[in-house]
Chain A
Amino acid sequence: EAQVTQNPRYLITVTGKKLTVTCSQNMNHEYMSWYRQDPGLGLRQIYYSMNVEVTDKGDVPEGYKVSRKEKRNFPLILESPSPNQTSLYFCASSLFTSTNEKLFFGSGTQLSVL
């Protein structure tokens, strides 16, 4: 089954404790990206990647890191989480084609930083 898989689904941590949220897709998509969703703000893009070893900042990159060492994986790293990073996080992927660039989303990761 074609899917984007995020782990974990829920995560509670404390300020300053490094964490990684994993994202994997099995559709051979070139494009992958991370978003955070906060009440009243919709989804905001954190980072995106056009292919292996090619990443760039979205609108809210501060406090986050990413890497794209393999095409299928795009982990999100919070090296020193703070309470303002408490949010619902989504990973997404898509093909780059001229006729269809539909984004497919993972199930989300609810992060609480205490």
Chain B
Amino acid sequence: GIQVEQSPPDLILQEGANSTLRCNFSDSVNNLQWFHQNPWGQLINLFYIPSGTKQNGRLSATTVATERYSLLYISSSQTTDSGVYFCAVGSSGTYKYIFGTGTRLKVLA
């Protein structure tokens, strides 16, 4: 099955810094999403982005499906950005989702 790898596993930033999180996947996908799990455990959908680029405020994401990776950019980070960021992919022809093991982000005031 598809393998999903996220990097880096951990990231510590000062408030105001920018960061890039990466998601690599091993096969073609028809669905890719980014999630933020906040310190209370709640999972929030950030982007549905099987290809192309999207922006939402300080966050943006790019997926290059032909090269099998996606990037999540966080600009001017805030302490409320802390938590774990997951990418999830859905493989072509199935309805299964495979999650990466996440990037744990801590933003310091």
Q: Tell me if B43 and A90 are in contact (CB < 8 A).
A: yes
Q: Tell me if B95 and A43 are in contact (CB < 8 A).
A: no
Q: Tell me if A42 and B45 are in contact (CB < 8 A).
A: no
Q: Tell me if A58 and B86 are in contact (CB < 8 A).
A: no
Q: Complex: how many Å from CA A89 to CA B33?
A: 19
Which residues, 62 to 114 on A, are CB-close (under 8 Å) to B? 88, 90, 92, 100-105, 107-108
For A48, give its contact among B33, B42, B95, B98 (CB under 8 Å). Answer: B95
Q: Assuming A100-B48, A101-B31, is B99 touching A42 (CB within 8 A)?
A: yes
For B101, give its contact among A31, A41, A102, A108 (CB under 8 Å). Answer: A41
Chain A residues whose CB sits within 8 angstroms of the CB of B45 once the complex forms: 102-105
Chain B residues whose CB sits within 8 angstroms of the CB of A88 once the complex forms: 41
| Number of A interface residues in the complex (CB < 8 A) | 25
Chain A residues whose CB sits within 8 angstroms of the CB of B90 once the complex forms: 101
| Number of B interface residues in the complex (CB < 8 A) | 21
User: Chain A at the B interface: mostly helix, strand, loop or mixed?
Assistant: strand
Q: Complex: how many Å from CA A33 to CA B8?
A: 28
Residues 13-44 of chain A, each 1 if its beta carbon lies under 8 Å from chain B, else 0? 00000000000000000010101000011111
9 A-B residue pairings within 8 Å (CB atoms) = A35-B99, A42-B101, A43-B86, A44-B99, A45-B98, A48-B97, A59-B96, A102-B33, A108-B43
Cβ-closest 5 pairs across A and B: A105-B43, A43-B99, A42-B99, A42-B101, A102-B48
Chain A interface residues toward B at CB < 8 A: 31, 33, 35, 40-45, 48, 50, 56, 58-59, 88, 90, 92, 100-105, 107-108
A42-B99, A42-B102, A43-B88 are known; give 7 further A-B pairs, CB within 8 A: A42-B86, A45-B96, A48-B96, A58-B96, A102-B48, A107-B41, A108-B43
